[in-house]
Amino acid sequence: MREFKERVAVITGAASGIGRGLADRCAKEGMKVVLADIEENALIQAEEEMKATGATVMSVITDVSKEGDVKSLAEKSVDAFGDVHLLFNNAGVGGGTSAWESTVADWEWIMGVNLWGVIHCVRTFVPIMLKQQSESHIVNTASMAGLMSGPYSAIYKVTKHGVVSLSETLYHELKQKNASINVSVLCPGYIDTQIVDCERNRPAKLQNDPEIERNRREKPEYQFMEQFMRKAVQDGMSPQGTADFVFDAIKAEKFYILANPAYFKDFANMRAEDIIQERNPTNPLSAPLD
């Protein structure tokens, strides 16, 4: 896809971070933009700010972990603008601790948003796009964590590996149908977003017991990882820069969008070599890089 003016973009997780960067870039391209997010105040603010610049935009409060919310998002998008040409399945959260210490609530929340959110959007929007028979593109936000192995962030990695595999499978299936829908998977490194503070949007029914949460936050390893992540995202690529990178990839019809920083590619290559050589997984935190 090279022409964007007057076409329609739907973006989940659009009120902040990468999603907001994508929304602003879509508006800059002259697209009609549908903003979807669970954070109501931030969503309203994003819509107002974009409209003030002259953008054609609407917002829909959406919990992507709920199939009904995603179906409602699709219906409102089609009712307002007719078609959907660009779909950014971008909503995401992080959290949890080790694979065994993370609670069921941790797993349900992060899996619900990061993986089921993409599944619901694919199942809902792909039939709409197929029926349109017009050029369109889907970008699923995964992470470089979905291309590598290592300790920490077990749930996050599981979801992002799932998004990568889902995207690859979707790409092949649509090519077999000769559909006019292209697919990309965005695998960024550290981006300057609010993901470290994503607990602000965690549903009450999936909150951890306060004592469990307090004990978790008192552990030195938890404090280390939180401090590391805050510094890493603060120093990361801007959402606007990420959006520019994504649009260049869409125009070039690239599937893998490996945005910032470059050294994460070494980690992905390390995992691939572990598999090919049938050796035990290498810990990227202790392995020397070229």
Provide the annotated active-site residues. Answer: 156
| Secondary structure (DSSP) of 138-149 | EEEE--GGGG--
Task: Judge if the upstream peptide bond of residue 261 is cis by omega within 30 degrees of 0.
Answer: yes
Q: Kindly give the residue spans of alpha helices, DSSP state H, lying in the chain.
A: 17-28, 40-52, 67-81, 104-111, 117-132, 154-176, 210-218, 220-234, 239-251, 264-276
- By the 10 Å C-beta count (0-12 exposed, 13-18 middle, 19+ buried), 114 is classed as buried
Q: How far is CA 68 from the centre of its chain?
A: 20
Contacts of 50 (CB under 8 A, 6+ apart): 23, 24, 27, 33, 35, 57
Contact 1, 86 (CB under 8 A): yes
Provide the token pair at 197.
């503070």
| Secondary structure (DSSP) of 16-38 | SHHHHHHHHHHHHTT-EEEEEES
Contact 16, 194 (CB under 8 A): yes
Residues present in the chain in total: 290
- Tokens 């077990």 correspond to 154
